[in-house]
Amino acid sequence: MINLEIPKKANALVNQAYQAASEVFRPISRKYDRAEHSYPKELDTLAALLDGLNSSGEGGAGAAGVRKDGDDKDKGNRNGANLNLVLGTMEMCWGDVAMLLAMPRQGLGNAAIASVANEEQAKRFADVWAAMAITEPSTGSDSANITTTAVADGDDYLLNGEKIFVTAGDRADTVVVWATLDKSLGRAAIKSFVVEKTRPGIKVERLEHKLGIKASDTAVIRLDNCRVPKENLLGSPEIDTKSGFAGVMQTFDNTRPLVAAMAIGVARAALEETAKVLAEAGVTVDYDRPANSQHAAAAAYLQLEADYEAAYLLTLQAAWMADNRKPNSLQASMAKAKAGRSVVDITLRCVELCGTVGYTEESLLEKWSRDSKILDIFEGTQQIQQLIVARRLLGKSSAELK
């Protein structure tokens, strides 16, 4: 049985994350929204604190990835690292999602390493700050169409290609690059490589100016005969056409619930701010009366809260399943799809409900509405998530249902 109550042992971590969000992220949120591409120096001290918590085993509150446990003699249900991670992420993104994405050593590339690295690699890359480079100019939303190549050359691979929309691509010291070993073998030949930024042949071409998450840098990266040791290939170098895309897709099973958690944090922030504005305007949200017998703004607020709650529970389910050694690809995509769509709907509707307060820089509501859109796009767009869910439910392959 799935128990979606927050375990008591997670309270300390959630409180740590909330304190960081309220005391560090919120006060500087508007400052760095206006100063795009400026690194928030205030994050260095917080990052050092989280590193210490992670090293001590107490658990930090950032977005670093978690490993799936191996054989566990305890067969009972449990709440573990995945659930703690999404709970911490929700709290941090209640403060500011761009700040979390700008945190040193808390990148999505770190989640990729934690998901598929072997034990030796996990230790070797434990202290890196890793961005994740998947999207290319010609691939659109289909990661299986990756054209960046990795060609064996002695003890190394030579990587060639271009990656776009790389979150933290400029500031991170390492990039996890998805590339194909053999284009003719399709999805099964796509592998992920840890590429240090100090290696010759990797270059940040430019930084993007964006709608939201301005405190986080988003880069275009080019690889030109970039030489990477073979031991930097994450997971197995073998091309297994039977398992297809399963190896690298395991990364998404971990990172999609994280992005859903980010969306939930932003949505909660918007709902809380809107509740204050409505209360000041004399609008009371009554949970003991039907929505259609209340003020129109109160009825709309209740609908938004329902969407938020559904996304929240789906995300906890995906994390719980990972903690309990259950395949969660379907649930990860459902959580990402629901949370990504809901956060956009919630933040935009909150802007409307709050009138002029929502549209001006008097509050952070307008910022949250801009930040929210990327959470419906990266780590797989809304449409891709729906397609994955349909394939899982209908038992269809990617070739059968496009």
- Name the residues annotated as catalytic: 379
Separation between Cα atoms, residue 159 and residue 150, nearest integer Å:
5
Query: Of 335, 328, 345, 342, which is closest to residue 379 (Cα–Cα)?
Result: 335
What Rg value do the Cα atoms of the chain yield, rounded? 21
Q: State the pairing for strand pair 130-133/174-180.
A: parallel
Torsion of Cα atoms, 253 then 257 then 259 then 260, to 10°: 140
Residue with tokens 């999505």: 108
Strand runs (DSSP E) across 107-173, as ranges? Answer: 130-133, 149-153, 156-167
DSSP β-bridge partners for residue 193: 177, 233
End-to-end CA distance of the chain: 34
Q: Counting Cβ atoms within 10 Å, is residue 149 exposed (0-12), middle (13-18) or buried (19+)?
A: middle
Residue 4 near residue 317, CB atoms below 8 Å? yes
Separation between Cα atoms, residue 183 and residue 225, nearest integer Å:
17
Residue 63 near residue 87, CB atoms below 8 Å? no
Do you know the residue count of the chain?
A: 402
For residue 326, what are the contacts with CB-CB under 8 A and spacing of at least 6? none
Query: Of 377, 341, 387, which is closest to residue 213 (Cα–Cα)?
Result: 377
Separation between Cα atoms, residue 218 and residue 205, nearest integer Å:
11
